[in-house]
Amino acid sequence: MNFIPTKIPDVILVEPTVFGDHRGFFMETWQRKNFAENGIDYDFVQDNHSKSSHGILRGLHYQMEQTQGKLVRVVEGSVFDVAVDMRVSSETFGQWVGYELSAENHRMLWVPPEFAHGFYVMSETAEFVYKCTDYYAPEHEQSLLWNDPALAIDWQLVDGKAPILSDKDANAPVFVDALKFT
């Protein structure tokens, strides 16, 4: 596997080695020792799998307690995946990184605890799977407005069309008003 640092050093893009031929492909998606040696030294306690239609944007979400690190990947379709640093004490506080993850490129993104996370579906549908370092706790979940001008996230919206949002995501607070980690 290739572990690629991003402009936010704690967020890591992972490119697995894919072995393929006329029968299909094989790739390793997680191996404790290899990941730990490359800065992702966490235990995972929950796996999630979602399916979304074209134009849906989910996020930006994070938990103030039971913070979740997430190793995310796409098994069908493609998404634009974003992580925002919510740690006040960090040199990259308020910065974001984003990458296209797809079934074709097999990339994964490590989103550490205390980061807001979201994704936008670029394909007709997308199936998104992720491993979490802590359990989902809806009572601790927070949201951050996806299009806050202060963050200026380039979501790579297909044809510039507004995304489809949940009410929670459409009414999330802007970065300046959102809860942050000290």
In sequence order, the β-bridge partners of residue 15 are 2
Compute the distance between CA of residue 67 and CA of residue 130 in angstroms, rounded to an integer.
Answer: 15
Give tens-digit pLDDT for 61-81: 999 999 999 999 999 999 999
Residue 106 — very low, low, confident or very high, per pLDDT cuts 50/70/90?
very high
For 79, the 3-state DSSP assignment is: strand
CA-nearest of 15, 22, 119 to 77 is: 119
**Predicted pLDDT of residue 163:** 98
pLDDT of residue 136: 97
> Are residues 80 and 156 in contact, defined by beta-carbon separation less than 8 angstroms?
yes
Neighbours of 148 (CB within 10 A): 19
Is 156 a domain residue? yes
Q: Does any domain span residue 32? A: no
Average pLDDT, the chain: 97
**Is beta strand 12-15 parallel, antiparallel or unpaired with respect to 108-111?**
antiparallel
What DSSP string runs through 144-177? --TT-TTT------GGGPPPB--HHHHTPPPGGG
pTM of the model: 0.95
Q: Report the number of distinct structural domains present in the chain.
A: 1
Classify residue 30: in a domain, yes or no.
no
Per-residue pLDDT tens digits for 50-59:
999 999 999 9
Domain membership flag for residue 103: yes
Per-residue pLDDT tens over the stretch 18-55: 998 999 999 999 999 999 999 999 999 999 999 999 99
CATH number at residue 134: 2.60.120.10
Residue 81 lies in a domain: yes
In a domain, 27, yes or no: no
The rounded percent of the chain whose pLDDT value lies above 70 is 100
69: nearest Cα among 124, 3, 147, 135: 135
Establish if 48 belongs to a structural domain: yes
Catalytic residue ranges: 61, 130
Considering Cα of 152, then 154, then 155, then 161, what sign does the dihedral take? positive
pLDDT band at 134 (very low <50, low <70, confident <90, very high): very high
- 182 domain-assigned: no
Q: How many residues would you count in the chain?
A: 182
Domain of 137? 2-17+40-177
What is residue 94's DSSP assignment?
T
Q: What is the pLDDT of residue 66?
A: 97
